Amino acid sequence: MSSSNAATASLRRPSALAGLTFGALGVVYGDIGTSPLYSLKEVFHGGLIAVTPENILGVLSLLFWTLTIVVSVKYVLLILRADNNGEGGLIAMLALATNAVNNKPLLRRKLLLLGLFGTAIFFGDAVITPAMTVLGAVEGIDVYAPDYDGLILPITLLVLTGLFTAQRMGTGGIGRAFGSVMLLWFLSLAALGLPHILANPDVLVAVNPMYALRFCLEHHWAAFLGLGAVVLVVTGGEALYADLGHFGRKPIRIAWYGVVMPSLVMNYFGQGAMLLERPEAVKNPFFLLAPPWAEIPLFALATLAAIVASQALITAAYSVTKQAIQMGLLPRMRILHTSVRDIGQIYVPFINWGLFTLIVLAVVFFGSSSKLAGAYGIAVTIDMTITTIMTFFVIRHGWGYPLALSVLATGFFFAIDVTYLASNALKLLHGGWFPLTIGAGMFTLMLTWKQGRRLLQRRLREDAIELKVFLEAVFLSPPLRVPGTAVFLSADVGVTPNALLHNLKHNKVLHEQNLFVTVKHHETPWVGFDKRCAVEALGNDCWAVQLHFGFKNEPDVPEALTLLASRGVHLDEMETSYFLSRDIVIPNIHENSGMADWREKLFASMHRNAAAAADFLHLPTNRIVELGSKLEI
């Protein structure tokens, strides 16, 4: 059963619903829950907007209505409905949108490129979020012990080093503590803000949207620039959708409306109430909310909450990488499972240390959360905008809603997203280039890999021999048959695998049973066991087998082949050998292949360094035979 189906089934029990809601607090809301550390401070940072009562109320109103419109309405009410077999996230949305326009090839290709870019930009967000949240939490030192502000960067790097080093041990134990830490965090947010609101209840008038409107009309350009910091309150909104399959729609909504939204609003309004009394507290209004006795506990709790927020993005980066690999967007990488019970708990060493290196560069280069804020917003707003665009095509072409209703449902949010994106684009030279550079790099790698694989498959088809025709020729004068079963992995259905050709050429034998297996990955998250296998008898104890996996399924070939027993194909595990063809790609820079020469060389390098297919497909290491060949593209 998929995680989404399990979550849905468990909602029938109140205790299970409470458990999922509690878990959602820790995993889903780590990023958005730590935004009070820096959001309000960054709006006033730089002195462009004066800290006056009118401006404080206007900014608070903007914060409140941004949270309400973007998160409460757009994501929680609308986007969560667009699930792909219970799963969410940009890749799931991309699959929904492209499938909805399957009969429009040009539009489908454009949506695919857009979704590809959004997925690439996510990795930029995965770098900026841990850097921003941990640095923002550790900067409490500057408020409580200014003489020790030189320790901010070393402590930040120490926390991040410990966090990334611990990833290889798995997140099971940490994950169980996530909910407890974040529940305490949200209760603390409310507790910090409430006394200041009670002391100055006039701050509550900022709930009136007219204060936000008046602020924008009076300040024009300054207000537009300020939107780049206001949007920081909704960073992590994409996590609501991405974690849909883990917790289900209902627990995510209960956690938001019941705990997260009220706590965030009370804390922001508490910061605003304090600024009305003490404008000088704008240097770090979050930490200055706390009474003296709570300074050290709050600093420790904020650091823990920042670790939780960072962990959520790191785990998501592993998950997105695995999904991208299975959809053919990235080369195979070494993926380690850190739990024998939960297949979703994985560790990808290359991604882990790649993220760590880039995060350390970001922390050292920018040096403060205020400088990182310029880099933060642009990645978030790009993904928000892309999600809205995808949603339109899902509603219009997938669900069949009228054009006017589809435009109305998404056009309003699109206008808001583009406004925030335009504001953040002005910070391009002040840090916004950093996540965009990471995103552009990942986009280039993804596009090169996808196009390179298409060229490689085209090259293989040029020399391909039809499997049925080949077997008919072989059995006219059959070679020696040896005991056991041979499983030949092939990329294309009905094509003779190179491994079979090499085996016959060099070993001059054929096994008693021969399976020609093609693994298919689909643009749907889960494919059940009832649809896992398709088998066709080819005669002479030979079968053509197709194995179907969704992008969140674990591609375990030996496990899937056991399902063939019900089809009359019995395999003895100890008598089964797996034959793979490992092709060495050589770029042909003298021919026009459709890719630039440097991209051909890049693809060849990626192909050469890709993890072995045997590991990715969970083949037993002691029963693998690899036969190689060279191919020019």
Q: To 10 degrees, the CA torsion angle through 485, 490, 492, 496?
A: -70
pLDDT of residue 237: 80
Please check the confidence at residue 333 and state whether its pLDDT lies above 80.
Answer: yes
Please check the confidence at residue 27 and state whether its pLDDT lies above 90.
Answer: no
Q: Decide: helix, strand or coil at residue 577.
A: strand
Residues 64-99: tens digit of each pLDDT: 999 999 999 999 988 888 877 777 788 888 888 888
Please check the confidence at residue 6 and state whether its pLDDT lies above 60.
Answer: no
Please check the confidence at residue 13 and state whether its pLDDT lies above 70.
Answer: no
pTM for this model (two decimals): 0.82
* CA–CA separation, 129 and 465 (whole Å): 50
pLDDT of residue 72: 94
CB neighbour class for 621 (10 Å; exposed up to 12, middle 13-18, buried from 19): exposed
pLDDT of residue 9: 46
Which residues does 543 contact at the CB level (< 8 Å), separation at least 6? 513, 514, 515, 516, 535, 536, 537, 564, 569
pLDDT of residue 1: 43
pLDDT of residue 591: 66
Residues 216-246: tens digit of each pLDDT: 999 888 889 889 889 889 887 877 787 777 7
Please check the confidence at residue 278 and state whether its pLDDT lies above 90.
Answer: yes
Domain locations along the chain = 3-431, 459-632
Phi, psi of 490 (to 5 degrees): -135, 140
Q: Tell me what the mean pLDDT of segment 294-299 comes to.
A: 90
Phi, psi of 372 (to 5 degrees): -70, -25
Average pLDDT over the chain reads: 87
Residue with the larger pLDDT of the pair 371 and 200: 200
Q: State percent of the chain over pLDDT 70.
A: 94
What dotted CATH number matches 3-431?
1.20.1740
pLDDT of residue 51: 92
Please check the confidence at residue 48 and state whether its pLDDT lies above 70.
Answer: yes
